[in-house]
Chain A
Amino acid sequence: MPGMDTLYRVSALNTAYAATIDGDRLEDWPGFFHTDCLYKITTAENVRRGLLAGIIYADSRGMLEDRVAAIRRANIFENHAYRHVIGMASILGEDADGIRAEAPFLVVRTMRDGQMTLFAAGRYQDLLRPDETGALRFAERVVICDSPRFDTLVAIPL
């Protein structure tokens, strides 16, 4: 049975993760992941049916850095910001692979004209391991959105 310490460390990581994205410090976002990692955005229906594709599918920190570079320099979209609300994590287990955890999230999107939308709701399915400094990092973060539908586009990561 994982202790309070694990729960605290996972929760603190989630809080920092949200603050990094919502604070537009996207360059720091890949640092939450191990060099070898999986970051994927998919839907609950795809998970239920065992369909593996995601709208973002990165299997290295380099691919996450490329995402950020593309958002900053290549892709065109109207200015907007997210506000993540990440609920209390559940620690599902801890073994040689690392800590398995899950946390629910809501993301509100605010457009430049002030329009606010409940953009996404779902859960993070995570595998976490400490890096060489002992800090927890994501070996896997699968973003499972409850809705099959995405409004307009997904540029900023969830």
Chain B
Amino acid sequence: MDDGATILNTHHWPAGISRVPFWVYQDQAVMRAEQKRIFEGPVWHFLCLEVDIENQGDYRTTFIGDMPVIVVRGEAGALHGFENRCAHRGALIAFNDYGNTKDFTCAYHAWRYDLQGNLCSIAFQRGVGGKGGMPREFDMRQHGPRKLRVDSIGGLVFGTVDPAAPTLEAFLSAPIVAKIKRVFNRKLEVIGRFTQHLPNNWKMYAENIRDTYHASLLHLFFTTFKITRFDQAGGVTISPDGAHHASATIGKGIETQSVYKDQGIRSDSEEFLLRDDSFLASSPEFGDDIQLQNVALFPGTMLQQLYNSLAVRQTVPRGVDGMDLHWTFVGFADDTPEMRKMRLKQANLAGPAGYVSMEDGCIGNFVQRGVAAASDEIAIVEMGGYESESQNTRATEASVRGFWKNYRRLMEI
């Protein structure tokens, strides 16, 4: 049994949330325990957008950790989700990314499921010519893929495997729901999808999206063009359980570069000027002066508002030392042509080739390789103290500690 207690028989983790042992990014047993306790635990996971499955029978396939799932629009607008695994031999029931269907028929032996994931017919159940077929007593109602609870907020569809999970809103907490609804406040429209393979354990990216400390140090583009700097107003809001985080950067920033100069830090380069900065001409659209809002949802989803560049980033683990990051860039259905053009141009900022995000594609791998022989050593997560409370600075790792607080609680580790 791969659970936290068993793992701690052979691995050491100091008490608290400000030190992280490197074995947690390396161990297969940890990964198996995460599947049970986090991905199939009392956690809601982003699955798709409501507009991805607008009409009855529209479906998308995705993953909750390693678990393949189908999310589908049923009758009367209802949302359903279930494991993408045939009750018979376990084959994938749907093997396209999306589609529209009346029902789902497994390709292997044509066992058929309705839009709620109920097994509703078995090919040759009574055999052929009185021979073969399933035993009389076989009860279809007792067999089927595991079902998800599915709910949505702000047009984002989430699912959980765990019947004991709190409601979606309770899971997210009121302060985080407010941050989500600030941006996701009307009908969305997808403008592009990209997948980025990150050669690192998924938790390194979960930390990265909560790590406000690195943003202007690793990503020089941010700093030079004052998109976010520690000397701009802002801070982090963290849910009470530590699980979720929202960071905000307020205002256009200020001209002084003294904060960085005093530190002698590389990421301040005055002579770096853009030839065509038209893509930075953002247009406030949420009734406030928040230029940047990143909402990180436990475990690995990030909702991005970077000026007018809006995206959902979904983490799917791919083994211990890899993950896929699914980027869905969105606008609103009522975007003006000018706003839509601005979103297309600002997509340069974040994504697999993003000016302020491409480094995140390789930095986790630098850690993964750096700690190769250091399973029993520990990472230090102490910027801004030892706890995970909300703070009015971004020079902190409070949100990263929040992730580990919730992780240790769920993993019982």
Contacts and interface: CB of A to CB of B under 8 A. Distances in A.
A90 interface: no
B284 to A, nearest CB: 21
B345 A59 contact: yes
Given A62-B274, A78-B362, A153-B358, 8 more contacts: A42-B192, A51-B190, A55-B351, A66-B275, A69-B275, A74-B220, A149-B194, A152-B197
Given A46-B192, A149-B197, A73 B272 contact: yes
Nearest to A153: B361
A149 B324 contact: yes
B197 A150 contact: yes
Contacts of A56: 348, 353
Interface of A: 41-43, 45-46, 51-60, 62-63, 65-66, 69-70, 73-78, 148-155
B196 A75 contact: no
Contact of B353 (A41, A63, A74): A41
Contacts of B359: 75-77, 153
A55 B353 contact: yes
Contacts of B220: 73-76
Nearest to B191: A53
Given A62-B275, A70-B221, A75 B192 contact: no
Chain A CB within 10 Å — which of B196, B199, B277, B343 has the most? B196
A154 to B, nearest CB: 4
Contacts of A51: 190-193
23 contacts: A41-B353, A52-B344, A53-B191, A53-B344, A54-B344, A55-B353, A60-B278, A62-B276, A63-B275, A63-B276, A63-B278, A74-B221, A75-B220, A75-B358, A76-B362, A148-B195, A150-B195, A151-B197, A151-B199, A152-B196, A152-B199, A152-B362, A155-B353
Interface residues of B, number: 41
B198 interface: yes
Contacts of A41: 353
Contact of A57 (B195, B221, B348): B348
Given A45-B193, A52-B191, A74 B272 contact: yes
Contacts of B358: 75, 77, 153-155
B352 interface: yes
B329 A58 contact: no
Contacts of B324: 149
A55 B347 contact: yes
B275 to A, nearest CB: 4
A57 B224 contact: no
A69 B279 CA distance: 16
B110 interface: no
B365 interface: yes
Given A152-B362, A154-B353, A54 B193 contact: no
A19 to B, nearest CB: 22
Contacts of A78: 362
A75 B343 contact: no
B199 to A, nearest CB: 6
Contacts of A45: 193
Contact of B192 (A52, A70, A76, A150): A52
B214 to A, nearest CB: 11
Contacts of B365: 152
B348 A74 contact: no
